[in-house]
Amino acid sequence: AQSVTQLDSQVPVFEEAPVELRCNYSSSVSVYLFWYVQYPNQGLQLLLKYLSGSTLVKGINGFEAEFNKSQTSFHLRKPSVHISDTAEYFCAVTYQSGGYNKLIFGAGTRLAVHP
Amino acid sequence: GAVVSQHPSRVICKSGTSVKIECRSLDFQATTMFWYRQFPKQSLMLMATSNEGSKATYEQGVEKDKFLINHASLTLSTLTVTSAHPEDSSFYICSARTSGGASETQYFGPGTRLLVL
C-alpha cells in the first residue's frame, strides 16, 4: 500500500527566510505527486503537481518542489516566505484502489511564519 | 476555472437529526467526486468515492447507511449525515475531478463545518 510521510508536523520560520517542507512516499509503481495548502477553516488549494517530465516543478505563490525518484521524496521549497504563507501544507500521492484512482494524504505540516 | 462549492459552510444541528451537505462543480463536469472528513489538526480522511449515476464506494470503516452519498448529476453530489451524533461533528470537504485518470487534479471545496449538539 502506498503511504505518504511528512517528516515535520510543524515548521516555524522567520519572514523572508527560506523554507523546506519534507515529504517522502512509498510506492513501487509510477506515482503522481501533489502539494496542497489549506488556510484556516478552508478547503485545499493546489500548489503544484508532478506528473512526468522535469523533476523540478514550479507552483503558485513562489513555491517549487523537486521529485527525487531514488530517494522517493517530493520536498516543497520557497526561497523567501511571507507572513501570508502561514498555513497547513499537505503532500499527496495518487493510488489505485477498488478500480478508482484516489489521493492519499500525508499528515500535514504546519508552516508558521513569524515577523 | 475549476471551482468547487459547498453548501452550507457551517451547520449546527441537534443530535438525532439529519444534515445534507451539497457539493457542486461550478465550471466543469465532475465524473468523480470524493468526500473527506477532517478532524482538528489532522489530515483528510477519505470517506467515499462517487461516480455520477452509480453507487458510492465507501472506505473501510465508514458506515454507508449513516453517510448517504448521492451523485445525481455531473455537477452535484450530496452527503447526508443521518441521525447525527456529537461524534459526527467534524469538517467535511468534498473534491471533484473531471475524469478517472490518476494524473487528473482534484479540486476541493471550501469545506462544511458540522457541529452536532
Instruction: Identify the burial level of A25 via C-beta atoms within 10 angstroms of its C-beta, where 0-12 means exposed, 13-18 middle and 19 or more buried.
Output: buried
Please compute the mean of the pLDDT values over residues B76-94 and round it to a whole number: 95
Across the interface, whether the CB atoms of A103 and B100 are under 8 A apart is answered no
Residues of chain A whose pLDDT is less than 70? 1, 28-30, 97-100
Look at residue B41 in the predicted model and tell me its pLDDT: 78
Whether the pLDDT of residue B94 is over 70: the answer is yes
Consecutive H or E run containing B44: strand B44-51
Please compute the mean of the pLDDT values over residues B75-103 and round it to a whole number: 88
pLDDT tens sequence across B98-114: 865 656 778 999 999 99
Any CB–CB contact under 8 A between B54 and chain A? Answer: no
Whether the pLDDT of residue B6 is over 70: the answer is yes
Look at residue B84 in the predicted model and tell me its pLDDT: 96
Instruction: Give the residue from chain A lying closest to B50, CA to CA.
Output: A100
Any CB–CB contact under 8 A between B98 and chain A? Answer: no
Residue where the block lists cell 499527496:
A92
Any CB–CB contact under 8 A between B34 and chain A? Answer: yes
Look at residue A63 in the predicted model and tell me its pLDDT: 97
Look at residue B102 in the predicted model and tell me its pLDDT: 59
Please compute the mean of the pLDDT values over residues B17-31 and round it to a whole number: 93
Give the Cα separation of A38 and A45 in Å (integer): 6
Give the Cα separation of A71 and B56 in Å (integer): 36
Average pLDDT for chain B: 90
pLDDT tens sequence across A75-104: 999 999 999 999 999 999 987 766 667 888
For residues B28 and B80, is the Cβ–Cβ distance under 8 A? no
Look at residue B1 in the predicted model and tell me its pLDDT: 64
3-state secondary structure of B98: coil
Across the interface, whether the CB atoms of A36 and B113 are under 8 A apart is answered no
User: Would strands A64-68 and A109-114 be described as parallel, antiparallel, or unpaired?
Assistant: unpaired
- Chain B nearest C-alpha distance from A115 (Å): 23
pLDDT class of B8 with cuts at 50, 70, 90: very high
Across the interface, whether the CB atoms of A102 and B46 are under 8 A apart is answered yes
Across the interface, whether the CB atoms of B4 and A43 are under 8 A apart is answered yes
For residues B64 and B58, is the Cβ–Cβ distance under 8 A? yes
Look at residue B103 in the predicted model and tell me its pLDDT: 64
Please compute the mean of the pLDDT values over residues B43-51 and round it to a whole number: 90
Look at residue B104 in the predicted model and tell me its pLDDT: 74
Instruction: Identify the burial level of A107 via C-beta atoms within 10 angstroms of its C-beta, where 0-12 means exposed, 13-18 middle and 19 or more buried.
Output: middle
CB contacts < 8 A (A, B): 57
Give the Cα separation of A49 and A63 in Å (integer): 11
Look at residue B37 in the predicted model and tell me its pLDDT: 95
The closest CB to that of A42, out of B49, B107, B110, belongs to B110
Look at residue B52 in the predicted model and tell me its pLDDT: 81
Chain B environment of A112 (Cβ under 8 Å): none
Ramachandran region, residue B51 (left: φ > 0; alpha: ψ -120 to 50; beta: rest): beta
User: Would strands B44-51 and B107-108 be described as parallel, antiparallel, or unpaired?
Assistant: unpaired
Across the interface, whether the CB atoms of A107 and B43 are under 8 A apart is answered yes
DSSP class per residue in B45-78? EEEEEEETTSPPEEPTT--TTTEEEEEEETTEEE
Any CB–CB contact under 8 A between B8 and chain A? Answer: no
The grid cell for A17 is 527566510
Instruction: Identify the burial level of B33 via C-beta atoms within 10 angstroms of its C-beta, where 0-12 means exposed, 13-18 middle and 19 or more buried.
Output: buried
